[in-house]
Amino acid sequence: MPNHNTARYTAEEEYPDLEKHANHMAHCLTKEIYKKMRAVQTPSGFTIDNAIQTGVDNPGHPFIMTVGCVAGDEESYETFADLFDPVIEARHNGYKKSDMHKTDIDPDHLKGGENLDPKYVLSSRVRTGRSIRGLCLPPHCSRAERRKVEQISCEALAKLDGELKGNYYSLKGMTDKQQDQLIEDHFLFDKPVSPLLLASGMARDWPDARGIWHNDKKNFLVWINEEDHLRVISMEKGGNMNAVFKRWCTGLQLVEKHMKESGYEYMWNPHLGYILTCPSNLGTGVRAGVHLKIPKLSQQPKFDEILKKLRLQKRGTGGVDTASTDGTFDISNADRLGFSEVELVQMVIDGVEFMIDLEKKLEKGESIEAEVDGLKQK
Amino acid sequence: MFSKKVGVAVAAASSAALWYKTREQHVAGARLPPTRELKYPPGADFPDLKNHHNIMKNHLTPGCYAKLRDVTTPNGFTLDQCIQTGVDNQGHPFIKIVGLTACDEESYETFKDLFYPVIKERHNGYDPEVDTHPIDLNPAHIKGGKLDEKYVLSSRVRTGRAIRGLPHPPVCSRAERREVENIAIAAFQGLSSDLSGQYYSLKTMSEADQDKLIEDHFLFDKPVSPLLTSAGMARDWPDARGIFHNDEKNFLVWVNEEDHLRLISMEKGGDMKSVFARFCKGVNQIEKVVGEIGWEFQKSENLGYILTCPSNCGNGLRCGVHVKLPLLSKDKRFNDILDKLRLQKRGTGGVDTAAVGGTFDISNLDRLGKSEVQLVQEVIDGVNLLVEMEKRLEKRGSIDRLMPK
């Protein structure tokens, strides 16, 4: 929305109180930067206040250092570069304004990952997000734009066939029976409850133009208009991460091909890779992960250090805002930008194999000190 | 310190008054940025309200939306911002919620094609187009008002006020919200004798102060009701929010919760006359001081005092008691009786709660179209009747002859 109060108050009077805050936005948004950003807005009317609202309303997260700002459209990253560039640099390991991002979604480049031990690896999953160029993102889109995203996505998905052939279930129109089935399959996503998402305005007009598409085989799934325009997910039980990744690459590229046939494309540029709502998802937007049963390893004092060296992160099996309850963790790549999709999935595969070896050793009562000390930072 | 604050406020006020005058010249009906307007016709943006139950839905026709979608108030606010809470909250067939918030004072006029019919439905046919709203804050006009304390546990009167020239909590900027707080603080310093007290900022209060305020049941917390959060009222919490109360702890002001100001007078027991007298004194004194520093409240002849929610227009007055009616509340006719007396019941935890142990929060249903004195008198007379009925039932008598018409 236009900043009609801009003329009436100084930037100093408007500047948010970030004293108790610990997120990337709070660390990067100086008064000078805020003053400069306050004078501009994107062509669709997205302002710096819109971008930072989630970070102002949510001082910090107990498990993860949050970003604290979102994009309302593709132009946000350029218009508010003075804020987004340092946030991106901080969140993505020193990624500079001049850096170029590499994209690699060729599954043939992946080594191994066909049979991660299913005694430890309960399930494997790869997800990413995609945004449709020309339409505003979930924090800012109008109902008409959101419906357009749904329409474009459904048209493209309807063209998938073979293993990927499937159906769309609109959140608004699904029957009780369909809803129960989707819940049972763990496919259904619900209105966000996380204050991080609510504060940015992503839940407006729920459940209008939200829905779930999945293939008949139930291992390729697309969420429409949740946190991003599209979330594309490939998953299956067990440890065949390689197959999961291959299906994911195929599906993703086919959907893009079909969109282009209708005259649409994904938001992408050579510096930031794929453009998504949250700066933390820029680049590949990839989160490749497993549910890993490591009750012994996870109790080790050096567990977090190991994860850090492997460039992996842990979450509870309920997703980003949960904690682990029984030694089963969601383990996934920590990075998104600056590494290609293949590189990230490879890190997960290699890292998980390593951790399974450690867990096995611990089960036998053996020491893992040598392996842990010898582990080099990736 | 008072004069320094007044000095700053006066300087701000005169520039604000000038700004406001300039704003009035702005044509209400400014267009949105062309990119959005040209791309999608209003029909593509029309919300799906098929499963919704709220008053906004009853009056937001596609034609009304098409006419208003691209219009903004002089402050730049849109209809979509006003209706967001009603779109996001489907409501319930039994509970009538409004589903609409005013972004600023001008929203009521700029979007009157929607606001006026909503007000008409919510306020029993009051027509802002032709009706005028009476204001009466003279406690001498109250008759009686000492309620039976064996049944009436506490008495309370609250209202809201909005500062002219500043947008409402759903959309105000941080600077604007802080301006409201500054004005309020200056006003509190003008309160004297039994009303003088202290302001506690939610952001800076000490733990000891916080515990005391919780113990006194004065502390308000970040809203959790989706009706309020989806309207944007909880943004930037707890910045510029706070609580004032007098030393005697029976006059209380909330700053920047659901309205700019919520003013509350309360005490244990049933002396509603005293509660209302103090209420009038406080409200009038604050209005006076606000005027002295160059500001005023949002008010109009047809809408009375203007607040965030259309349901609170007029006097924004909720006058109520916590009253023990364990027998009467079980009578099948209880809801009907309340309705005839123009009263509403709530649980003692507030608007979203249910009653516990037969003790109810009973207050006036109406806001717009009746003066403060009228409403308080209705509550006094109504509660007296309810207590009489309860006593009759205790003696196992019949309440048939006592039924209101």
Q: What is the least distance, in Å, from the CA of B402 to any CA of chain A?
A: 48
Contact state of A142 with B80 under an 8 Å Cβ cutoff: yes
Given this model, what pLDDT does residue A191 score? 87
Residue A314, pLDDT above cutoff 60: yes
In terms of C-beta density within 10 A (0-12 exposed, 13-18 middle, 19 or more buried), how is residue B212 classed?
middle
- CA-to-CA dists, residue A246 to A104, A107, A113, A166, A287, angstroms: 12, 5, 11, 18, 15
Q: Which residues of A344-378 are buried (b: 16+ CB within 10 A; e: fewer)?
A: bbbbbbbbbbbbbebbbbbeeeeebeeebeebeee
- Percent of chain B at pLDDT > 70 equals 89
CA atoms within 13 A on the CB side of A338: 18
Helix A241-261 × helix A341-363 angle, to 10°: 160
Residue B4, pLDDT above cutoff 50: no
pLDDT single digits (tens) A63-121: 668 999 999 999 999 999 999 999 999 999 999 999 999 999 999 999 999 999 999 99
pLDDT single digits (tens) A208-234: 999 999 999 999 999 999 999 999 999
What are the DSSP calls for A285-328, one per residue? --EEEEEEE-TTGGGSTTHHHHHHHHTEEEEBTTBTT---SSSE
> What ipTM was predicted for this assembly?
0.88
Contact state of B173 with A9 under an 8 Å Cβ cutoff: yes
Given this model, what pLDDT does residue A185 score? 84
- CA-to-CA dists, residue B311 to A349, B254, B260, B261, B286, angstroms: 59, 19, 16, 16, 23
Contact state of A205 with B234 under an 8 Å Cβ cutoff: no
Contact state of B178 with A13 under an 8 Å Cβ cutoff: yes
Contact state of A4 with B76 under an 8 Å Cβ cutoff: yes
Q: Distance (Å, rounded) from C-alpha B119 to C-alpha B116?
A: 5
Residue B14, pLDDT above cutoff 70: no
Sheet holding A211-215, edge to edge: A166-170, A211-215, A220-224, A230-237, A121-130, A287-293, A328-333, A312-315
Q: Encoding tokens for residue B34?
A: 């062309």
Q: Give the max Cα distance, chain B.
A: 73
Q: Which of A318-327, B28-37, B72-81 has the lowest mean pLDDT?
A: B28-37
By Cβ distance, the residue of B173, B235, B239 closest to A17 is: B239
Residue A173, pLDDT above cutoff 50: yes
Q: Encoding tokens for residue A349?
A: 């595969």
pLDDT single digits (tens) B193-239: 999 999 999 999 999 998 889 888 888 888 889 999 999 999 999 99
Instruction: Judge whether A92 and A337 are in contact, CB under 8 Å.
Output: yes
Given this model, what pLDDT does residue B298 score? 98
Q: Which of A167-171, A329-333, B347-351 has the lowest mean pLDDT?
A: B347-351
Q: What is the least distance, in Å, from the CA of B106 to any CA of chain A?
A: 14
B335 touches chain A (CB under 8 A): no
B130 touches chain A (CB under 8 A): no
Question: Among candidates B306, B287, B280, which has minimal Cα distance to B183?
Answer: B287
By Cβ distance, the residue of B36, B77, B80 closest to A44 is: B36
What are the DSSP calls for B59-119, one per residue? H--HHHHHHHTT-B-TT--BHHHHHHHHHH--B-SSS-B-----SSTTHHHHTHHHHHHHH
Contact state of A142 with B33 under an 8 Å Cβ cutoff: no
Q: Which residues of A19-41 are buried (b: 16+ CB within 10 A; e: fewer)?
A: eebebbbbbbbeeebbeebbeeb
Which chain B residue has its CA at the smallest distance from A11's CA? B175
pLDDT band at A4 (very low <50, low <70, confident <90, very high): low
Which chain B residue has its CA at the smallest distance from A208's CA? B48
Helix intervals (H) in B192-264:
207-215, 226-229
SS3 of chain A: helix, strand, coil, percent, to 5? 35, 15, 45
Question: Among candidates B309, B328, B327, B330, which has minimal Cα distance to B318?
Answer: B309
Given this model, what pLDDT does residue B93 score? 86
Residue A368, pLDDT above cutoff 50: yes
Q: With H, G, I as helix, E, B as strand and everything else as coil, classify residue B146.
A: strand
Q: Encoding tokens for residue A318?
A: 């309920």
Chain B residues whose CB is inside 8 A of the A172 CB are: 48
Given this model, what pLDDT does residue A65 score? 87
Residue B3, pLDDT above cutoff 60: no
Chain A residues whose CB is inside 8 A of the B32 CB are: 45
pLDDT single digits (tens) A15-34: 999 998 999 999 999 999 99
Contact state of B40 with A44 under an 8 Å Cβ cutoff: no
Contact state of B44 with A44 under an 8 Å Cβ cutoff: no
By Cβ distance, the residue of B40, B234, B235 closest to A142 is: B40
Instruction: Judge whether B295 and B162 are in contact, CB under 8 Å.
Output: no
Given this model, what pLDDT does residue B34 score? 41
B268 touches chain A (CB under 8 A): no
B35 touches chain A (CB under 8 A): yes
Contact state of B174 with A16 under an 8 Å Cβ cutoff: yes
Contact state of A204 with B237 under an 8 Å Cβ cutoff: no
Mean pLDDT of the region A130-142: 96
Given this model, what pLDDT does residue B348 score? 77
By Cβ distance, the residue of B19, B48, B88 closest to A172 is: B48
Chain A interface test: which of B39, B50, B56, B182 (most A C-beta within 10 Å): B39
pLDDT single digits (tens) B85-143: 999 999 988 888 999 999 999 999 999 999 999 999 999 999 999 999 999 999 999 99
Bond from prior residue into A2 cis (ω within 30 degrees of 0) = no
By Cβ distance, the residue of A5, A10, A142 closest to B36 is: A142
Question: Among candidates A271, A253, A280, A275, which has minimal Cα distance to A336?
Answer: A280
Q: Encoding tokens for residue A370?
A: 């040598």
**CA angle, residues A269, A275, A278, in degrees to nearest 5:** 150
Q: Which residues of B26-56 are buried (b: 16+ CB within 10 A; e: fewer)?
A: eeeeeebeeebeeebebeebbbebeebbbbb
| Of residues B137 and B405, more confidently modeled | B137
Residue B335, pLDDT above cutoff 70: yes
Q: Which residue has the tokens 């099948």?
A: B332
Contact state of A13 with B230 under an 8 Å Cβ cutoff: no
Contact state of B236 with A56 under an 8 Å Cβ cutoff: yes
Given this model, what pLDDT does residue A248 score? 97
Chain B residues whose CB is inside 8 A of the A31 CB are: none
Contact state of B88 with A205 under an 8 Å Cβ cutoff: yes
Given this model, what pLDDT does residue B405 score? 83
Chain B residues whose CB is inside 8 A of the A147 CB are: 44
Residue B21, pLDDT above cutoff 50: no
Residue B28, pLDDT above cutoff 60: no
Q: Distance (Å, rounded) from C-alpha A269 to C-alpha B223?
A: 40
- CA-to-CA dists, residue A193 to A56, A127, A181, A202, A321, angstroms: 17, 20, 22, 11, 10
Q: What is the least distance, in Å, from the CA of A275 to any CA of chain B?
A: 21
Chain B residues whose CB is inside 8 A of the A44 CB are: 33, 35-36
Residue B402, pLDDT above cutoff 70: yes
By Cβ distance, the residue of A5, A8, A53 closest to B235 is: A53
| Amino acid letter for position B267 | E
Given this model, what pLDDT does residue B17 score? 37
Q: Distance (Å, rounded) from C-alpha A160 to C-alpha A255?
A: 8
Q: Encoding tokens for residue B384?
A: 């007296």
Given this model, what pLDDT does residue A322 score? 67
- Partner residues linked to B323 by β-bridges: B152, B360
Average of per-residue pLDDT values in chain B: 89
Which chain B residue has its CA at the smallest distance from A49's CA? B173
Given this model, what pLDDT does residue A5 score? 63
By Cβ distance, the residue of B74, B75, B175 closest to A13 is: B175
**Residue A184: partners with Cβ closer than 8 Å, 6 or more residues away:** none
Q: Which of A198-212, A315-329, B24-38 has the lowest mean pLDDT?
A: B24-38
Bond from prior residue into A270 cis (ω within 30 degrees of 0) = no
Instruction: Judge whether A20 and A27 are in contact, CB under 8 Å.
Output: no
Residue A326, pLDDT above cutoff 90: no
Contact state of B175 with A14 under an 8 Å Cβ cutoff: yes
Contact state of A9 with B47 under an 8 Å Cβ cutoff: no
Count of CB atoms within 10 A of residue A78's CB?
14
Instruction: Judge whether A156 and A255 are in contact, CB under 8 Å.
Output: yes
Question: Among candidates A16, A10, A32, which has minimal Cα distance to B15?
Answer: A10
Given this model, what pLDDT does residue B215 score? 84
Q: With H, G, I as helix, E, B as strand and everything else as coil, classify residue B381.
A: helix
Instruction: Judge whether A125 and A244 are in contact, CB under 8 Å.
Output: yes
Chain B interface test: which of A142, A150, A198, A200 (most B C-beta within 10 Å): A142
**Residue B164: partners with Cβ closer than 8 Å, 6 or more residues away:** B20, B105, B295, B296, B297, B298, B299
pLDDT band at B352 (very low <50, low <70, confident <90, very high): low
Chain A residues whose CB is inside 8 A of the B39 CB are: 144
B48 touches chain A (CB under 8 A): yes
Which chain A residue has its CA at the smallest distance from B16's CA? A8
The predicted model scores a pTM of 0.88
pLDDT band at B10 (very low <50, low <70, confident <90, very high): very low
**A-B contacts (CB, under 8 Å):** 87
Question: Among candidates A33, A30, A25, A137, which has minimal Cα distance to A91?
Answer: A25
B234 touches chain A (CB under 8 A): yes
Instruction: Judge whether A72 and A140 are in contact, CB under 8 Å.
Output: yes
Residue B13, pLDDT above cutoff 50: no
Q: Distance (Å, rounded) from C-alpha B101 to C-alpha B306?
A: 11
